[in-house]
Amino acid sequence: MTVDVELFDVLAQRERGLHQPMSRGKTVSLVRSAWAPSHNGLVAAAYLAKAGRRVCLLERRHLLGGAAVTEEIVPGFRFSRASYVLGLLRPRVYRDLDLGFPTLAPWPEDLPAGSQLLHAPEGGPLGRGGRSLTLGPREDMNHQQVAQFSAKDADALPRLEALLNKFAEALAPLMDAPPPNLNKFMPQDSREK
């Protein structure tokens, strides 16, 4: 899916004057472009464009992409801000917008998700330096990973996961629903403040 959009860089507006587009009339692939405003902004813009609306994307930061960017946080090292959470991409959004990413594939079941703690300080919150906590879909491996830090926590992990799964099941339908109107739940005098 491609749509006509005008990309505005808020910082560049100071140099060029208000509402001077970075690209005018350029066709940008919203679903395949690595350089665009925040991921949520892209989804909203794509839905609007699909509905026939003219879309204008504004970016406050010096870098386009929101949580989907990779940027240099420490000199010489580039980090993904949050793009590792592609699993949070709602299936409905993927279907609605026909997001046929050529490189998008389901997360392999045997590939763990986790964080490598390369320089955990001796006696720090996670114990001895160099250890890592890597969690995946297999209970036995997760137990082993957590047990290296706390046997008690490792034994409690199945109960925690069961509780979190109950929350996830209850909240999952809300992910694709419109947000609630909070005014319905607030007293009139609270809304006026």
pLDDT tens track for 76-116: 887 777 665 666 677 778 788 887 654 455 444 455 554 44
For the chain, give every domain's residue range.
3-96, 113-175
User: Which of 87-101, 118-132, 160-174 is predicted least confidently?
Assistant: 118-132
**Best-predicted range by mean pLDDT (12-26, 121-135, 147-161):** 147-161
Q: Which two tokens stand for residue 176?
A: 């694709």
Most confident of 31-40, 58-67, 100-109, 168-177: 168-177
Question: Residue 111 is encoded by which pair of tokens?
Answer: 């590939």
Burial class (CB in 10 A: 0-12, 13-18, 19+), 48: middle
Are 97 and 1 contacting, i.e. CB atoms less than 8 angstroms apart? Answer: yes
What's this model's pTM, rounded to 2 decimal places? 0.43
pLDDT at site 45: 79
pLDDT-derived band at 5 (thresholds 50, 70, 90) equals very low
